A and B are shown apart, each in its own frame.
Chain A
Amino acid sequence: MRGRANAGLVAGGALVGLVVLTAVASFFWTPHDPTLVDAARKLREPGGGYLLGADKFGRDTFSQLMVGARTTLYVGVVAVGIAAALGVPLGVIAGMTPRGWLSELIMRVNDLVFAFPALLLAVMLGAVYGAGTLTAMIAIGVATVPAFARVARAATLQVMVTDYVLAARAAGRRRPAIAVRHVLPNIGSMLIVQASVSFAIAILAEAALSFLGFGTRPPTPSWGRMLQESQELLFSTPRLALWPGLAIALAVLGFNLLGDGLRDHLDPKLRRVEER
């Protein structure tokens, strides 16, 4: 069912595009200063230039959401970047030397890192260096390394048994050259899919960390912290929880749909059971 898969790709792309556009636009324009505290606007109802109202400090919710998109993407890009930069080379090395001690060591360390979820890493990093956006990004990034290493290793193993790699080896090409010329271009599509899925997980992790106070620090707007601040006002002003919650869910949905859609689009062989 090609049509449905593409519908997912389009919907995911549109949602991700919306988040990216919002983040970019927030550099040039927001309706109000998102960090401006103004007691006169405290808990202002939506309307009259305040599209979604204001929070308990009088900060404009819409402007905060816009800048929050920026925070979300920033954390996601850096975390997924760290994960890919470390995980892909490790996975390719492990995949190219499947029986070597190095491969064994990499996969064992990988399993160990897997036992340290992003949240625990962030809490530990936060306890030692002080919590902030940086520690959150590093924690999420490091915790995501095993996912990239595993995908890269599995894909590399597949590429290594193909005829063209055999030919390159017979022609005397060295391993680094094979990795760059043959392996990376052929595992690229799987890595892009993994990046999209990891991005969604990173958004969830950032939101949870900011909610707990281990992520983005005030006054920088963050969807997770907006939720945390809204919780005590849930009885009186539930809309403060609604908007950041919706933003998180739509962004995660977007990256998940994009990942699934890309998987089907880039590599029909990998099409999962559901789309058959």
Chain B
Amino acid sequence: MTFYLLKRLAVLLAGIAVAAVVVFAFMSLLPGDPAEIALGVNATPEAVAALREQFGTDRPPVVQFLDWSGGLLQGDFGTSYVTSSPIGPQIGDRLGVTAVLVLGGMAVALVLAVPLGTFAAVHHRDPLGAVISAASQVGIAVPAFLAGILLVYVFAVQAQALPSGGYVPFAEDPGEWLRGLLLPWASLGLVQGAVLTRYVRSAVLDVMREDYLRTARAKGRGSTGALWRHGLRNASVPVVTVLGLQLATLLIGAVVVERVFVIPGLGDLLLNGVAGRDLLLVQGVVMVLVAAVLLINFVVDVAYHLLDPRLLR
């Protein structure tokens, strides 16, 4: 296990390093010089040269990359060319908001999918099981932002029970914080829950056919008891993989849902950065999101091996 863990960790770090090169190289293609953009068209060449030196963009790209990536290792994302404020703290603040959004969405998805998927598997010959399958198929076809708009229409426009958007920090008013997050959580969670339901159902159906479950039933455990004690851990192996992939999808879905609900998360920061042509900010946020996806994949792989030690052989 230790060897596997070290090997997988090396792959993760290498992945993040290569991703940093890719992101940096890509953003360096941006036409226009940040110093010229900052000073406008009437700037003197001397002023541009001075600012270029201050930004550090007069140095060779390799030096700039080493400087930027070296800073990343210490949590320093550089200083924005546009707003002149440090980028790291902004990303830090926004990351927390997005993380809460994503984890809440995941929780909603799990709470929906595990019981519904298991139920649909146990009752896969009944009409009710078929209804759940059909409903999940429809749920997959609805993008999270569309679910968000529909939820706003039902709960904010019609029922006027919840706010249609905006974000209140937890420290200010925990109640309003929760009220503001319910619809965003639901829009992310309903859609991912639909996807997950199908996987839970397949996994449980597979396990139900296994000999050990038949044995457990033969020993006198009821079919629910047998499934509970012997089935769910085995069924959880494929589900955890999908869960990890979904966490990455949720992170990206959150970018869009933040737009729907005007939530100041990473996605909002990213899109504002693009609109304001804040190159270094965009570079930083993209790097954080890509690193997060890679990290999620790492955690999933490790969890996968913990749940099913046979894979280590």
Contacts and interface: CB of A to CB of B under 8 A. Distances in A.
B31 A128 contact: yes
Contacts of A274: 124, 133, 198, 201-202, 205
Contact of B248 (A117, A126, A252, A256): A117
> Which of A111, A241, A249, A272 is the most central at the interface, judged by chain B CB atoms within 10 Å of its CB?
A249
B30 A249 contact: no
B259 interface: yes
Contacts, number: 117
A207 B191 CA distance: 15
Given A119-B252, A120-B290, A207-B143, A126 B149 contact: no
Interface stretch (B47-55, B102-110, B134-142): B134-142
A257 B138 CA distance: 10
B13 to A, nearest CB: 13
Interface in A233-276: 234-235, 238, 241, 245, 248-250, 252-253, 256-257, 272-274, 276
Size bracket, chain A contacts: 35 or more
Nearest to A274: B202
B186 interface: no
A231 interface: yes
Interface in B257-296: 259-260, 270-271, 274, 277, 279, 282, 286, 289-290, 293-294
A249 B31 contact: no
Given A120-B286, A273-B202, A115 B297 contact: yes
B29 A119 contact: no
A123 B290 contact: no
Contacts of A40: none
Interface stretch (B19-27, B63-71, B80-88, B224-232): B19-27
Given A115-B294, A273-B205, A124 B286 contact: yes
Contacts of A123: 270-271, 274, 282, 286
Chain A interface mostly:
helix
A199 interface: no
B18 A245 contact: no
Nearest to A124: B26
Nearest to B144: A208
Contacts of B286: 120, 123-124
Contacts of A90: none
A211 interface: yes
Nearest to A209: B256
B146 A227 contact: yes
A32 B27 CA distance: 42
Contacts of A245: 142, 146, 149-150
A234 B157 contact: yes
Contacts of A213: 271
A127 B202 CA distance: 41
Interface string A195-235: 00000100010011001110000000000000100110011
A235 B255 CA distance: 23
> Which of B149, B270, B290 is the most central at the interface, judged by chain A CB atoms within 10 Å of its CB?
B149
A200 B140 CA distance: 10
A208 B141 contact: no
Contacts of B270: 123
A127 B137 contact: no
Contacts of B153: 234, 238, 241
B271 to A, nearest CB: 6
B29 A128 contact: yes
A227 B149 contact: yes
B33 interface: no
Contacts of B150: 241, 245
B15 interface: yes
A85 B18 CA distance: 24
B289 A120 contact: yes
Given A207-B143, A253-B141, A212 B271 contact: yes
Contacts of A207: 143, 145-146
Interface of A: 111-112, 114-117, 119-120, 123-124, 126-128, 200, 204, 207-208, 211-213, 227, 230-231, 234-235, 238, 241, 245, 248-250, 252-253, 256-257, 272-274, 276
12 contacts: A112-B22, A115-B19, A116-B19, A116-B290, A117-B293, A123-B271, A128-B26, A208-B143, A248-B141, A250-B141, A253-B141, A257-B137
Nearest 5 interchain pairs by C-beta: A253-B141, A252-B141, A273-B202, A117-B252, A249-B141
Given A124-B286, A128-B26, A249-B138, 10 more contacts: A112-B19, A127-B27, A207-B143, A208-B143, A227-B145, A234-B149, A241-B150, A245-B150, A253-B137, A274-B133
